[in-house]
Every structure is written in C-alpha cells, then in structure tokens.
Amino acid sequence: MQSIYLPLAAVLLSACASAPTPQDVDAATRAAIASSFRAQGIAGMDRLANLQNQSNQACSEAMGQPLEASLAKAIEEANQKTVRPPADGRYVGDWREGERIAQNGRGLTWTDAPGALNGGSCHNCHQIGKAELSFGSIGPSLYQYGRLRGVADPAAPDSRAIVEYTWGKLWNAKGTNACSGMPRFGHAGILNEQQLRDVMALLLDPQSPVNAQ
Ligand code: HEC
C-alpha cells in the first residue's frame, strides 16, 4: 500500500512550489494508482479502468454537499435503467440463505476462484436483527424493514411497489440515491440473482430476523 502514498505525497509536496491544478493532481493520482497495481487472479486491471464513474466523480466533487437537483436526477435515472428484474419474475427466496449472505463479508479477492460466490457484507453497514450486538452504521438500520413498510406478506398485491423498490436498491443503489455509499450488488455482479432473491426474503419475509419482534 505504501507505494500508492509515496507518489501522492510527492504531488502534494510539489504543491508548495507551484500550485498544481486539480487536473494535474487528478492525472498524477491516476498515474500513481495505475503504476501501483497489477492484475492477479480474478482481480483484473479492469477494476481500475473506470477509476471513477460519472456519479462517483460528481459526488466526490460535491464533498458531501447535496448535488444540484437536476444532476442528481440524471445520475439516478441512468443507474435505475441498469436494474434488471428477476428473469422468472420471482423476487423473494429463502431468508435463511439470505441471512448467511448478509453476514458473509468475504469475496472478490485475487485468491478467490473464478465464479466463486461472494458475501453481501450487509451487517458491516446495517443492523439486520435484534439479536446482533455489533453491526455497522454507515447505512440505516434494516431491523423491521418489511414490517414498517406493511409487507408482512410479500405476496400481498399492495406490496409490489416496495418489492420492486427493494430489488432496485439491491441491484443498483444509485438508482434511487445518486451518492449512495452502498455497493451495487446486481449491477457490479457481486451477488447473483438467486442470492439477491434470498436477501430480499431476509428483508421482506415476516419470519426473518429482520421482521421478528
Ligand atoms: C458499504 C456499506 C453498505 C453495505 C455493505 C450495504 N449497504 Fe445497504 N445501504 C447503505 C447506505 C449508505 C444506504 C443509504 C443510502 C441509500 O439508500 O442508497 C443503504 C440503504 C439500504 C436500503 C434502503 C433502506 C431504506 O429504508 O430505503 C436497503 C434495503 C439496504 N441498504 C439493504 C442492504 C442489504 C440487504 C445489503 C447486503 C446485501 C446492504 N444493504 C449492504 C450502505 C451499505
């Protein structure tokens, strides 16, 4: 990791002599990152090819401030278009499997075999169930997610909108929140369709720890 920081430090130090433009820093940062990584196993250089997509760049530049409304809307619309509904129309699987995926934070490393299943790491950012003593808080608590939205029975006709919203959030969170910090599980190919169905069940099934009282 150190090798990433040394060239960056050089860029910052040189700022004292003649202030570099943001474009200079951007180019130097890209060059430093590109020269600091190599492809190994399933971790290819394609992960760096698109260092920042349009929404990441706009959100970084906004430095935590809200984006201009029309820009946020454009980013959300472009991301929402990537959402693919389940091929067979079934949105909800097995919550027990979904809970295993939510608790599993591993995958996508160069030591993983091609095609190996990844975890969802949901608990690193969200509270899932009441029994958990420690969990991340980058994202909102998901405890009672389905119950609070009146989706005690995912087959109920009036639950369609929330089922589709939830699928879309898991597929590509930026479709409904331009600067979302949540991984784009479907869009980025982190979870497959069956895994997404199982995580949907964790969120929506009345029997799951999310909705248990
Ligand atoms: C790196 C942190 C992170 C991870 C990992 C993560 N999320 Fe999120 N999640 C967030 C953030 C931040 C938000 C709020 C912004 C947004 O809505 O996009 C969010 C929002 C959500 C929402 C919308 C909540 C609402 O009330 O509308 C759902 C549902 C959700 N996450 C489910 C999950 C599930 C299930 C997983 C695991 C498969 C997961 N998240 C993994 C950070 C994360």
- The pLDDT tens digits of the residues spanning 68-78 come to 999 999 999 99
- What is the arithmetic mean of pLDDT over 82-102? 96
Helix (H, G, I), strand (E, B) or coil at 55: helix
Q: How confident is the model at residue 86 (pLDDT cuts 50, 70, 90)?
A: very high
CA distance 174 to 139: 14
The two tokens of residue 136 are 């991340």
Closest C-alpha residue for ligand 1 atom 37: 122
193 Cα to the center of ligand 1, angstroms: 17
Residue to substitute in 169, 176, 179 for testing ligand 1 pocket (most ligand atoms within 8 angstroms of CB): 169
**Residue bearing the bigger pLDDT, 9 or 144:** 144
Query: What is the share, in percent, of the chain residues with pLDDT greater than 90?
Result: 62
Query: Where are the chain's structural domains?
Result: 2-71, 95-204
Rounded to 5, what percent of the chain is helix, strand, coil? 50, 0, 50
Q: Are 65 and 47 contacting, i.e. CB atoms less than 8 angstroms apart?
A: no
Q: Assign domain 95-204 to its CATH superfamily.
A: Cytochrome c-like domain (1.10.760.10)
146 Cα to the center of ligand 1, angstroms: 14
Long-range contacts of 105-111 (CB under 8 A, 24+ apart): 107/190, 108/42, 108/43, 108/190, 109/41, 109/42, 109/43, 110/40, 110/41, 110/42, 110/43, 111/41
Q: How confident is the model at residue 5 (pLDDT cuts 50, 70, 90)?
A: very low
Give the residues surrounding ligand 1 with Cβ less than 6 Å away: 102, 120-122, 124-126, 138-140, 142, 166, 169-170, 173, 177, 180-183, 185, 199, 203
Global pTM exceeds 0.95: no
For 10-46, what is each residue's pLDDT tens digit? 444 444 456 777 667 678 887 888 889 899 999 988 7
82 Cα to the center of ligand 1, angstroms: 17
For 160-212, what is each residue's pLDDT tens digit? 899 999 999 999 999 999 999 999 999 999 999 999 999 999 999 999 999 99
pLDDT at 35: 87
CA distance 170 to 191: 9
182 Cα to the center of ligand 1, angstroms: 5
